[in-house]
Amino acid sequence: MTITIQQITTANEADLRLPNEPFPIIGEFLVTRTDTGWSHQERLAAQVHEQTFPEENYQLSAIDAAGFALGAYAEGKCVGLATFEYQFNRFVYLADLKVTQTYRRSGVARALLDAAQPIAQAHGSQGLCTIAQGSNVIANRFYLAYGFQIGGLETFRYEFTRAKGETDIHYWLAY
């Protein structure tokens, strides 16, 4: 299987509509901070369930105004998408990363991040940052395995939503 990465342009703009697919919620990623830094542990669920994020309805003009997007392709079909936003602090924010179920755990997400780094560096970036929900253990594992470091924990964002109790874990990766 050969995966190619392409920047999203008007030629492949339709691939910004890659649908979100369910992902397993296998537990909770618990983050704490002490004087020595951040640490984490996992609390695995007795029962696994699935979650699907709402569709984003991306517009290329808005993506390009804020940063860039990359698509991952296998046999001419888009199987992964990553959107990035330039930040004031010389980091590029990974706003969205999704891979179709068929191609998960095959290196697509890693290839998208690898391809983003030279683009980000050409724009003066010093690294990448992103956020993962505490309930998305698999995403948190991926970011740590890729080399990101935990840099923050947000506990109040979902207070007045159906996701009350959810957390956001902030990740940073300096080049």
Q: Say what the pLDDT of residue 1 is.
A: 78
DSSP 20: P
In the chain, what are the domains?
A: 3-174 (3.40.630.30)
Say how far apart CA 27 and CA 35 lie, in whole Å.
27
pLDDT tens for the 175 residues of the chain, in order:
799 999 999 999 999 999 999 999 999 999 999 999 999 999 999 999 999 999 999 999 999 999 999 999 999 999 999 999 999 999 999 999 999 999 999 999 999 999 999 999 999 999 999 999 999 999 999 999 999 999 999 999 999 999 999 999 999 999 9
> Do the beta carbons of residue 175 and residue 157 sit within 8 Å?
no
Distance (Å, whole) CA 52 – CA 116: 25
The Cα 42–Cα 133 span in angstroms is 13
